[in-house]
Amino acid sequence: MARHLITSALPYINGIKHLGNLVGSQLPADLYARYLRGRGHQVLFLCATDEHGTPAEIAAQKAGKPVADYCAELHAVQAGLARDYGLSFDHYGRSSSPQNHALTQHFAGVLADNGLISEVSETQMYSPEDGRFLPDRYIEGTCPNCGFDSARGDQCDNCTKQLDPVDLIEPHSTISGATNLEMRETKHLFLRQSGMRDQLAEWIESKTDWPILTTSIAKKWLFDGDGLKDRGITRDLDWGVPVKKGTEDWPGMEGKVFYVWFDAPIEYIACAQEWVDAGKGEEWESWWRTDKGADDVTYTQFMGKDNVPFHTLTFPATLLGSGEPWKMVDYIKSFNYLNYDGGQFSTSRGRGVFMDQALEILPADYWRWWLLSHAPENADAEFTWENFQSSVNKDLADVLGNFVSRVTKFCRSKFGETVPTGGEAGPDEAALIEELETRLRAYERHLDAIDIRKAAAELRAIWVAGNEYLQKAAPWSTFKEDETRAAGQIRFGLNLIRLYAVISAPFLPETAGRMFSALNTLDTRWPDSAADALQALPPGHGFSVPDNLFAKISDEQRAEWQTRFAGTRD
């Protein structure tokens, strides 16, 4: 049994997330965590709401609520939606936790002691109309690199280029819309990333198995132009982790907080502390400190491509620069963007189908299947209602759901609600077992490699193989000539349903649970071999016929939803 630490990029607290956010980090991370647990491994799966920084302040201001109250409310909403989608976090924490405050201040102190933090006096955008310095995300303008007209002051969402507010063309305040911005002097702390470039480059170069998307973005930031720059890690904000050097005040930094992208990744570690403090686990250090046993942990991170620079450079610089024995990430699975009907999903602009809206019309497993089987791994993907309808109808209803329905209903009508006795496996069953053995091992290889679309395709092929067997065996016809042989065929089919429940659970946990319940079994063991798995339910074992697992989407429903979700959230 191996030990696996899995973290999903922290969703911002500023509202309910859209389907693109879901498939960009949390959902594939859950798939991997569920698969590893199914194989018998020990897993610690962590996530949290990212609650600091400008997005939280802006969202709270729009909601007319104190920012702390707003964050507490939205954390509960996001945690509830995570449960509704079957996301199996061991702990879903908060970056505003006392644990994260203390740990962020600790890292700042040790980095300063190691000469990796400098105090820099700089000029910064000030809005006389707003009466304040404007943090990066309170400033928007046109990106000088790609021309995107809504680039933020820290990064362009379109081309992912790191920016400073002064780089923007025609910048304006997102608070008031003011354009009469001016530069004034202020003092901030900078993480001296440039002094760690060689160490970071050597570390990244050693990750030869990482996705090209991950390493290409990291190397672009490392080597393009002037190379890796020092990064400001403080902001003039009221909401955040107060700037301290460990437990001591930091002279000259009064009234400032740490930059959200400095404290947010540290929450991964703090989240494990929260997990222990909540009484859910023990010895968080054995997962995070190599001097406490974490050297045998495999650590995998999941994120969208816009988060890659901070996870490959800033957070590693923090851990390495501390000189302390922290567990470094072993593998970063990054994703491209999922677009929506010819445009982009956007939380800030309310465009696309959001997690709560999706569940209003269909259960979570419908969305889990489509999103994972179309995960934007190698290129941007696009959600269309036509494709969604086709995938649900053909994959879930016609293949998996149809197989379960035909087998259980036929057995009930001819043999009752028990696994029938009699009939031995013949050539047809032997051929299917051989095919399933090959496909199961391929399915495992794809999941081990976190090749999600390939795994989904292999899983569907396994479902199809069962349908092809059932069609060829035709127990409804066999029954007329040889009831015993038909009994063996249908017993084989019932055991296929259990096998499908086991291996489909990472993708479709709620559906798998319904299948296990109908089969009246708690035997969820991952198959050592196809042959053994297909004998798990013995003759005489009772079962019930489940309700239809998946309803087809009609053309009328699709048209209604296309109109209802025309691209803008109310």
Residue 332 · residue 208 · CB < 8 Å: no
Mapped onto helix, strand or coil, the DSSP state of residue 330 is coil
Q: Which secondary structure element, helix H or strand E, spans residue 55, and what is its range?
A: helix 54-63
The strand pair at 42-49 and 3-8 is best described as: parallel
Distance CA 72, CA 67 (A): 9
- The CA angle 129-134-138, to the nearest 5 degrees, is 100
Please tell me whether 71 is known to bind a ligand.
no
The answer to whether the CB of 147 falls within 8 A of the CB of 175 is no
- Residue bearing tokens 């001097």: 291
CB count, 10 Å around CB of 357?
17
3-class state of residue 529 by DSSP: coil
Helix axes of 509-519 and 483-504: crossing angle, nearest 10 degrees: 150
SS3 232: strand
In the block, residue with structure tokens 């089969």: 519
d(CA 137, CA 153): 6
271 annotated as a binding-site residue: no
Q: Is the dihedral of CA 96, 102, 107, 113 positive or negative?
A: positive
146 is in an annotated binding site: yes
Query: Any known ligand binding at 143?
Result: yes
What are residue 292's DSSP bridge partners? Answer: none
The values of phi and psi at residue 360, to 5°, are: -70, -25
How big is the chain by its Cα radius of gyration, in Å?
27
Judge residue 552's burial from the number of C-beta atoms within 10 Å of its C-beta, 0-12 exposed, 13-18 middle, 19 or more buried: middle
Q: Which residues fall in the annotated binding site for ATP?
A: 347
Q: Which residues fall in the annotated binding site for Zn(2+)?
A: 143, 146, 156, 159
Q: Which residues fall in the annotated binding site?
A: 143, 146, 156, 159, 347
